[in-house]
């Protein structure tokens, strides 16, 4: 039986796409090169928070199959590549895209649509993926259709899922773009057709660079306000009342996940390759990268104020995932906080229901939920499950990096 869709890469982007396609009545095959991921999915156990085991059960009942084999590509109408793109020594890492492209090319059939969703620098689809796919002997735009559609998955977002988030699509040729749009129109409420592949690729980088720069702005503002004795949270509250020309962002201990710390570097890297400046993005990265160190300096000052030395102090971190209510530790600012507290000789523990295990530089961080035994509690991530008023009443001293707590023993970032 032929597949309507083959999804390559079954992570936080690919699995929700497969789920939505199953719900739309398509026959879906998921491909992942990790045998453990495939085995868990076929056993009914999901590793992606937004696609729980109940949703996975529905997918399996509809005929969804996960496999490590790319053979089903030869029967598929559409192939969507959702593999990770990260960094190696600060430079773009497209090894997964290249590997997926080569594997797809081995089985590519005439008339199919291939779409890349992985975030990368402008030109990736045409300059990197297209030649690999054409090694099959088929010509893009003539024998098969090629498109790019940037993923817009926001883990933990209960309001916007794949189906009600506008989907940007593009194609190598006008016909490729039309075919790409027709595919996604089956899955989402709104499709936005970009002028070309590079416009769609750049739109994704702009979206995340916009967040990077604005978060850096309020992080710098937080440091500035602390120095001058200004309540930054009240500044933000007042500014947010302006009904035009302002969108509120919140300071914090740094940025994590994939989108904000990683994606803008693809923009900066391509700009450098073209001999162009990308100084604002670079400066914003530096500001955000310095926030874990700033949190540790504030922690040191609070302990000193209370007559304690950092060396030997017991510091409890609340929430170590990179985002509230999400079980994901990628690029979490908690990593830098732990690293620097340890360097000062503090004894660090953590409490986070979303992280059963937390290790930094190969050394486990002990778990503790005993707030009143800590010399200092640092709120890094305000998960909804935390009883913040009770914590505020119980802890000796708190550094709140999220502006969510009140009390005489609470100091906000």
413 residues of the chain, pLDDT tens digit each: 689 999 999 999 999 999 999 999 999 999 999 999 999 999 999 999 889 889 999 999 999 999 999 999 999 999 999 999 988 887 889 999 999 999 999 999 999 999 999 999 999 999 999 999 999 999 999 999 999 999 999 988 889 999 999 999 999 999 999 999 999 999 999 999 999 999 999 999 999 999 999 999 999 999 999 999 999 999 999 999 999 999 999 999 999 987 888 899 999 989 988 999 889 999 999 999 999 999 999 999 999 999 999 999 999 999 999 999 999 999 999 999 999 999 999 999 999 999 999 999 999 999 998 999 999 999 999 999 999 999 999 999 999 999 999 999 999 99
Going along 117-210, which residue ranges are E strands? Answer: 145-148, 167-171, 191-193
pTM of the entire structure? 0.92
Cα–Cα distance list, 293 to 102, 209, 254, 296, 343 (Å): 42, 22, 9, 5, 11
Is 259 assigned a catalytic role? yes
Q: Give the separation between CA 121 and CA 200, rounded to whole angstroms.
A: 10
Neighbour-count burial of 251, counting CB atoms closer than 10 A to its CB (0-12 exposed, 13-18 middle, 19+ buried) = buried
- Helix or strand holding residue 160 (H, E): none
Q: Give the separation between CA 286 and CA 284, rounded to whole angstroms.
A: 5
Residue labelled with tokens 């690999």: 132
Residues 6+ apart with CB under 8 A from 97: 81, 83, 85, 116, 118, 120, 124, 128, 129
| CATH class, range 217-412 | alpha beta
CATH fold of 5-194 reads Rossmann fold (3.40.50)
Q: Give the separation between CA 21 and CA 78, rounded to whole angstroms.
A: 11
Q: Give the separation between CA 121 and CA 116, rounded to whole angstroms.
A: 12
Domain borders along the chain are 5-194, 217-412
**Catalytically annotated residue among 22, 82, 176, 259:** 259
């Amino acid at each position: 039986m032929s597949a309507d869709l083959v999804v390559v890469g079954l992570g936080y982007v690919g699995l929700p796409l497969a789920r939505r396609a199953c719900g739309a009545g398509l026959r879906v095959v998921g491909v992942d090169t990790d045998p453990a991921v495939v085995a868990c999915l076929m056993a009914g156990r999901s590793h992606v928070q937004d696609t729980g085991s109940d949703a996975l059960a529905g997918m399996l009942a509809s005929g969804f199959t996960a496999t490590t084999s790319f053979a089903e590509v030869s029967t598929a109408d559409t192939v969507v590549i959702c593999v990770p793109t990260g960094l190696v020594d600060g430079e773009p890492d497209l090894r997964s895209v290249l590997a997926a492209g080569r594997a797809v090319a081995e089985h590519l059939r005439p008339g199919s649509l291939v779409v890349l969703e992985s975030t990368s620098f402008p030109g990736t689809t045409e300059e990197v993926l297209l030649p690999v796919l054409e090694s099959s002997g088929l010509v893009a735009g003539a024998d098969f259709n090629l498109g790019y559609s940037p993923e817009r998955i926001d883990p933990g977002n209960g309001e916007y899922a794949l189906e009600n988030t506008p989907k940007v699509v593009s194609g190598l040729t006008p016909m490729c773009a039309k075919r790409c749009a027709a595919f996604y129109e089956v899955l989402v409420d709104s499709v936005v057709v970009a002028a070309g592949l590079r416009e769609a690729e750049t739109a994704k980088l702009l979206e995340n660079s916009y967040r990077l720069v604005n978060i850096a702005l309020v992080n710098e503002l937080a440091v500035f306000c602390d120095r001058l004795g200004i309540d930054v949270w009240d500044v933000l509250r007042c500014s947010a009342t302006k009904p035009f020309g302002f969108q509120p962002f919140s300071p914090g201990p740094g940025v994590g996940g994939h989108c904000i710390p990683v994606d803008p570097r693809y923009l900066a890297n391509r700009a450098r390759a073209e001999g162009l400046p990308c100084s604002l993005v670079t400066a914003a990265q530096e500001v955000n990268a310095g926030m874990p160190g700033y949190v540790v300096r504030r922690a040191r000052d609070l302990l000193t104020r209370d007559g304690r030395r950092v060396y030997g102090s017991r510091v409890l971190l609340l929430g170590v995932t990179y985002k509230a209510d999400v079980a994901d530790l990628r690029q979490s600012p908690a990593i830098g906080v732990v690293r620097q507290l340890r360097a000062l000789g503090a004894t660090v523990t953590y409490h986070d229901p979303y992280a059963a295990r937390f290790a930094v530089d190969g050394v486990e961080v002990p778990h503790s939920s005993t707030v009143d035994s800590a010399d200092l509690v640092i709120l890094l991530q305000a998960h909804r499950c935390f009883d913040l008023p009770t914590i505020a009443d119980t802890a000796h001293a708190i550094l709140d990096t999220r502006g969510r707590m009140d009390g005489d023993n609470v100091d906000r970032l």
